[in-house]
């Protein structure tokens, strides 16, 4: 895929798919499209999905100059403010029902991070100072209510009492801290600092760089560990190929925005993924859990691999991954977008939705935006 093809894919496939999920009656966007492309108009609406849609349409406008995308971003922003933002305690609800009534009032730092990330981009697109004010308020909720002296915590009740981290744990462990949450707080603050240059966030970003280097990066295994107890003791022997390659370029981007030297471990983990996680067709496996490789091909892992390999100086590999995406991951059925997950033989897993709480336009959309803006292919 070249830049012309990627731009056409963005404008002719990804953007129309997500525009079609706009809910004119209840606000926001419909929360689920199953494998058969049936839209479930009564599915719950997740905070993560809504924020990622807001981020997507904001950046579609910033990249393409399409005014209709800015209007869709505004629609997503209004629903975030009215349905997801907790006006009593602060923060973002995990989910609402299809009408916008609170369904799951638990608070997750990860969820807050994506709201900050999205609002920062929408502020950049709209120049609406009230949006910047809300982004800053949510970021201060993260700093004041979702952290301790050692870093970021994960899960809370509506009134910010600590609870078990069910949504952001997996593989049989319950984590008190996760690499994933730290990465996306870092990503969100990078975008907020880029848009507003507030010194407070510069300091927070620098502290997070120290956490990555001192607590998260595993020099022996050349990876980022994933799930931790409160003292940053890893809870499982897990290499998340997608998170490592995503982190490699997101952390580099953060240091570039901060105008500080890049940290050496980002190149090390990217090189390691290039060495151990590539299939012969250019796709990237999912993860290694306790020395058992999960060979599924997950949509977001492939998108992040393209950007990570480009950032690490592997353009030929990135091109091969892009060709894999074109051949196998993009769903050619009319009205669809990307498949969610494929087996090792590249057949789609039909139990996985085309859109849901986690399946969104964030990773594949961002891949397109970055390539178009930087002319990297």
For position 171, what pLDDT does the model report? Answer: 77
CA–CA distance, 223 with 351 (Å, rounded to integer)? 31
Tens digits of residue pLDDT in 55-66:
999 999 999 999
Report helix angle 299-311 to 241-258, nearest 10: 50
Residue 218: inside a domain, yes or no? yes
Range of the domain at 238: 9-374
pLDDT in tens, 318-334: 999 999 999 999 999 99
Number of domains within the chain:
1
In-domain check, residue 2: no
Read off the pLDDT band of 1 (50, 70, 90): confident
Domain CATH code at residue 189: 1.50.10.10
Q: Is residue 135 a part of any domain in this protein?
A: yes
Asked whether residue 100 is assigned to any structural domain, the reply reads yes
Q: What confidence tens digit (pLDDT) does each residue in 226-270 have? A: 999 999 999 999 999 999 999 999 999 999 999 999 999 999 999
Q: Terminal CA-to-CA distance of the chain, rounded, Å?
A: 8
Residue 3 lies in a domain: no
In a domain, 202, yes or no: yes
Q: What is the pLDDT of residues 136-160, one digit of tens each?
A: 999 999 999 999 999 999 999 999 9
Asked if the structure places residue 171 within a domain, the reply is: yes
4 in a structural domain: no
pTM: 0.96
**Is pLDDT of 9 > 70?**
yes
């Amino acid at each position: 895929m070249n830049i012309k093809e990627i731009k056409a894919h963005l404008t002719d496939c990804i953007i129309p798919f997500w525009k079609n999920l706009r809910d004119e009656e209840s606000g926001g966007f419909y929360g689920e499209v199953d494998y058969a492309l049936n839209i479930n108009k009564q599915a719950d609406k997740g905070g993560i999905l809504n924020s990622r849609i807001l981020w997507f349409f904001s950046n579609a406008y910033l990249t393409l100059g399409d005014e209709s995308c800015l209007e869709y971003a505004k629609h997503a922003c209004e629903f975030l403010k009215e349905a997801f933002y907790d006006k009593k305690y602060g923060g973002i609800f995990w989910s609402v029902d299809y009408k916008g009534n609170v369904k799951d009032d638990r608070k997750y730092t990860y969820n807050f991070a994506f709201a900050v990330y999205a609002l920062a981009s929408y502020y950049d697109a709209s120049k609406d100072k009230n949006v910047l004010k809300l982004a800053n308020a949510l970021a201060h909720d993260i700093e004041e209510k979702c952290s301790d002296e050692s870093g970021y915590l994960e899960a809370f009740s509506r009134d910010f009492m600590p609870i078990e981290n069910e949504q952001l744990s997996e593989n049989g462990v319950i984590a008190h801290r996760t690499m994933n949450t730290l990465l996306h707080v870092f990503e969100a603050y990078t975008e907020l600092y880029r848009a507003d240059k507030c010194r407070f966030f510069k300091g927070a970003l620098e502290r997070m760089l120290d956490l990555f280097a001192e607590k998260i990066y595993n020099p022996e295994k050349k990876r980022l560990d994933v799930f931790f107890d409160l003292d940053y003791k890893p809870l499982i022997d897990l290499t998340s190929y997608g998170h490592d390659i995503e982190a490699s370029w997101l952390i580099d981007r953060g240091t570039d925005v901060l105008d500080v030297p890049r940290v050496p471990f980002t190149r090390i983990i990217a090189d390691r993924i290039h060495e151990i996680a590539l299939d012969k067709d250019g796709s990237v496996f999912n993860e290694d859990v306790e020395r058992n490789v999960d060979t599924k091909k997950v949509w977001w892992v492939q998108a992040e691999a393209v950007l990570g390999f480009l950032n690490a100086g592997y353009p030929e590999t990135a091109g091969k991954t892009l060709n894999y995406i074109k051949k196998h991951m993009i769903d050619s059925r009319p009205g669809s977008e990307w498949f969610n997950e494929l087996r090792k033989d590249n057949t789609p897993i039909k139990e996985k939705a085309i859109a849901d709480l986690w399946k969104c336009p964030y990773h594949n959309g961002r891949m397109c935006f970055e390539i178009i803006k930087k002319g990297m292919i």
